[in-house]
Amino acid sequence: MLLRVLFVCYENICRSPMAEGIFSALVRRDARAEGIVVESAGTVCYQKGSLPDSRAVMVAGRYGIDISPLRARCIDELDLGLFDWIFTMDAENYQDVSNCFAGAGPVYMMTHFDPYAACQDIADPYYGSEDDFLRVYKQLDRAIGYAYRQILGGLHSSESSDINGFS
């Protein structure tokens, strides 16, 4: 395996499963991404083993992405040595990963590579409406497009980083 990517949110039932689904879809459609492994986790374990939120499943499904098989899990020390890239959804997740798992890395905010991000955080839509989930999905889709190009550019630095509209 060439590379492992982890997406982290609070409980691993809304944002990070959508991020895992979006990134996994890019990997499946790009022959240059062979060997990239994508997972997601939460910083707390209240929902361990739970399905993704039904609104996240529905919104991702609108875009042809099935996240229903995913199950919530909590990030742990074993993840530190496994993942080459870790993306957190908000400043609280970033602090939790950075403080509790010193040495994890590299750890980035999900919007780090997105030059058009209005703010650093991808807001948690859990207490919101379906429209909030849709807004988060669109933020993730754009941010992941930029992160994907950055990651693939590092793997294939001698090749073009244009992935033909994957954003």
Q: Give the pLDDT score at 81.
A: 80
Query: Would you state the pLDDT for residue 80?
Result: 78
Note the pLDDT of residue 156.
Answer: 59
Q: CATH fold of 3-155, please?
A: Rossmann fold (3.40.50)
| Per-residue pLDDT, 158 | 36
Task: Report pTM.
Answer: 0.91
Angle of CA points 121, 124, 125, to nearest 5°: 130
Helix (H, G, I), strand (E, B) or coil at 109: strand
pLDDT for 95 equals: 94
Q: For residue 101, what pLDDT is reported?
A: 79
pLDDT at residue 165 in the model: 41
Q: What is the pLDDT of residue 160?
A: 33
Annotated catalytic residue within 53, 96, 114, 124: 124
Among candidates 96, 101, 11, which has minimal Cα distance to 56? 11
Burial class (CB in 10 A: 0-12, 13-18, 19+), 38: buried
- DSSP letters, 56-81, are HHHHHHHTT---TT----B--HHHHH
Check if 76 is active-site: no
Residue 9 falls in the annotated catalytic set: yes
DSSP conformation letters of 8-63? EESSSSSHHHHHHHHHHHHHHT-GGGTTEEEEEEESS-TTTTPPPPHHHHHHHHHT
Q: List the domain boundaries for the chain.
A: 3-155
> What is the Cα–Cα distance from 11 to 90, expressed in whole angstroms?
12
Q: What is the pLDDT of residue 106?
A: 86
Mean pLDDT, the chain cut into blocks of 10 residues (167 residues total): 90 99 98 94 95 99 98 92 93 92 83 95 98 98 97 63 37
Cis before residue 17, ω within 30 degrees of 0?
no
Among 9, 73, 141, 149, which one carries the catalytic annotation?
9
**Single-letter residue type at 54:** S
Could you confirm whether 131 is annotated as catalytic? no
- Choose, from 15, 55, 73, 149, the residue flagged as catalytic: 15
